[in-house]
Amino acid sequence: MQNLKKAQLVLEDGTIFEGTSFGYEQSVSGEVVFYTAMTGYPESLTDPSYKGQILVPTYPMIGNYGVPVDTKQDDLPAFFESDKIHCTALIISDYSFEYSHWNSQKSLGQWLKDQKVPGLFGIDTRALTKKLREHGAMLGKIVFAGQDVDFYDPNKENIVAQVSTSEVKEYGNGKYEVVLVDCGVKYNIIRCLLKRGVKVKRVPWDYDFTSEECDGIFLSNGPGDPAQCEKTIENIRKVLDKNVPIMGICLGNQLMARAAGAETYKLKYGHRSHNQPVVEPGKNRCYITSQNHGFAIDDKTLPVDWEPLFVNVNDGTNEGIRHKNKPFFSAQFHPEASSGPVDTEYLFDEFIKNIEVSKNR
């Protein structure tokens, strides 16, 4: 403890929080956001949707179960959502220097240092979260002595291009072939498809998949403003004229909406948690979902052939859309939910059913 450096979290309005470093010691900047999950920091930190963001877990103690071993399954890391940490930095209240779990290989602090990601503890995350709830997501920076940096807004550039695969990759050998448009895909999406007998062809965000011979198209999650992904939206717009089944998740939901002609907008502080309730319009059943996004679809701008598929119970925002006649649908939340609830994983089965119906016509 005596050798740990002090650093500051500085918000764009001038608010300063003093903390102690337990990660990589380098000044960085990004968008400060909070998330409310109690567990799952290895999955959250490796979620590409957090690219450019300074992450603030609201649960007070973090690090008590360390970091999982880096084993492979289906040519993917078995316990992570990508190959590296994507968030810019981690801000927590109480760091557990002692960790214990049957599957742990190192401490959270050591992992952050290995990946060159700063982390601060000893910050009043309750006060910080309250400020973000009142003001909305804010730009911020972690500053070490003598290393000041400028504020950086990741939503003003195409950060999808930074997290997408740069080459075509294939997984599995199932009877159905699905083109997965990688805008920052969580690996559990690939796992859920492989589990259902799908051969996955993972392509870059700007890849022209419009002439691909495939049984279905999957639009992945990803970070930032969907309006920045013009090439992806253009390609989606072209395939909407066909009847190839399409499913989207998170950013994929927003991209499909924009391709259909709808608008998206930035939420005040986004939905980032494991416990967001959603319902299907006209039905009484409520699903508990895992989410991570800062933008949403404006339902009022949906074309007449489209309709909302899910609605957020807390604030009434859109949580998914579907075409009234064609096999196209998407969810704003994460049905694959790693980590988080699995109430809605059945949506992958619905996607496969759409493929089967399409193949048997």
Query: Are the CB atoms for 267 and 251 separated by under 8 Å?
Result: no
Residue 329 CB coordination number (10 Å): 22
Asked if 273 and 35 touch (Cβ cutoff 8 Å), the reply is: yes
Q: Which of 214, 250, 274, 323 is catalytic?
A: 250
Token pair for 290: 């895992």
334 given a catalytic annotation: yes
Look up 336 and say whether it is catalytic: yes
The CA distance from 337 to 329, in Å, is 18
Place of tokens 């911020």: 140
Minimal CA–CA distance to 147: which of 255, 36, 10? 10
Integer CA distances (angstroms), 156 to 22, 99, 159, 183, 297, in order: 30, 38, 9, 16, 18
135 catalytically annotated: no
| Residue given tokens 């309005």 in the structure block | 13
Which residues lie closer than 8 Å to 97 by C-beta, 6 or more apart? Answer: 63, 107, 109
Give catalytic residue positions: 250, 334, 336
